[in-house]
Structure 1
Amino acid sequence: MKTFYYIIYYFPNGQKDEIRLQYKLDFYDDLLPIINEQVESGNNVIVTGDWNTAHRPIDLARPKENINTSGFMPIEREKLDIYVSEGWVDTFRLFHSEPDRYSWWTYRFGARERNVGWRIDYFFINKDMVDLCIDADIHHDVLGSDHCPVSLILDI
């Protein structure tokens, strides 16, 4: 097994102002060459945490209503598209294509009880690690936060 880097981040929240959104977008831009450099050096990389962006319409309960909400704005989703185009793999979607699987719910309006959520917590891996993946999941039944745990099982 090659060396691998396990990176845990809380990615910035874009909130509702342009300055904060630009900070978030810059963060995505700044991280990508750092992790790509590790892969180019022969290392495997896992990047996990709260990415604060639902990548695809399947990743949130109400995509049409949230198209202009930070966390699902096209410009934010395009950043994740760039990661994918450069060989980064969303491990959950390797194993699960079904909708209604979320990792975050607002505390308001009984959202969790009604499963009106967003999938914003990810494990992204470089493509060379795909064969090591056994499973990835979301543990929606674990309470204690507005997020629930996500997991990745590797054969290393």
Structure 2
Amino acid sequence: MKFISWNVNGIRACINKGFLDIVDTLDADVVCLQETKAQPEQIDIPEDLYPYQYAYSAIRKGYSGTMILSRIKPLNVIYGLGIDQHDTEGRVITAEFDDYYLVTVYTPNSGDGLKRLSYRMEWDQVFSRYVQSLNKPVFICGDLNVANEEIDIKNPKTNRRNAGFTDEERDSFKSNLLTYVKDTFRTLYPDKIQYSWWSYRFNARKNNAGWRIDYWLASEELMPRVKDSLILTDIYGSDHCPVELDIMD
């Protein structure tokens, strides 16, 4: 089976940049999207491409949002974390399958000047508790808005106090998630340098001055099923590229 996760930075804009042809070519069983920036009625994806579609939008229009497209009907779909104060921005969808959950998440950014860092720290703890409450192993994917190690960012020294690479966020990622799930890409490729997000400024993508902030994480017991974890840097349409997880059925 093939899973794709992609922060599309606006699904409507991405559709105008060839999104439908891209996902058709990728031919994944499940596609998870983050930062859709649209209400469900504004998203037009043909059902013959993906018959099962689940969108979760922010109350604030044109902001945040997640979506799951699937060729396999989930047993159940859960929207949000079940806590009102954390469920206004459409950041989490959980799809239940026979022997695992698939969770897509768009983790809050700490923002300019780290204005949301304290909220981000709270979010990490709440999200971790939610994931651990699920009664099956999990695959977690999405834009987690953190570059975990220096190898995951082009310029670690100059970004040390920027959102996504603070000590607080990196420590939180390790303590709240990596104690019980594995970073599939880094597990398979411990020394590989590859990025999944590039700023639109300063020709960052052309110069490959990027960050690896998009992940496929897996419970320990699911790791034997992981065949490959890929970063599809040759695919455009967003400031992020898709990340792929291939698993044994």
TM-score normalised to structure 1 length: 0.92
* 1:26 pairs with 2:119: no
Deviation at 1:35, TM superposition (A): 0.9
Alignment of 1:69-148 (within 5 A): 69-82=162-175, 83-85=177-179, 87-148=180-241
Asked if the contact 2:101–2:139 (Cα under 8 Å) also holds between the matched residues in 1, the reply is yes
* Percent identity of equivalent pairs: 34
RMSD in angstroms over aligned alpha carbons? 1.4
Moved over 2 A (4+): 16-19, 97-100
Deviation at 1:26, TM superposition (A): 1.1
Higher relative contact order (CA 8 A, sep 6+): 1
Asked if the contact 1:105–1:112 (Cα under 8 Å) also holds between the matched residues in 2, the reply is yes
* 1:8 pairs with 2:104: yes
Deviation at 1:98, TM superposition (A): 2.9
Asked if the contact 2:114–2:163 (Cα under 8 Å) also holds between the matched residues in 1, the reply is no
User: Which of the pair is proportionally richer in helix?
Assistant: 1
Query: Rg bigger for which structure?
Result: 2
What is the number of residues matched between the two proteins?
A: 152
Extract unaligned runs of 5+ from structure 2.
Answer: 1-96
CA distance in 2 between counterparts of 1:18 and 1:103 reads 22
Alignment of 1:54-69 (within 5 A): 54-69=147-162
Asked if the contact 1:2–1:44 (Cα under 8 Å) also holds between the matched residues in 2, the reply is no
TM-score normalised to structure 2 length: 0.59
Extract unaligned runs of 5+ from structure 1.
Answer: none
User: Which of the pair is proportionally richer in strand?
Assistant: 2
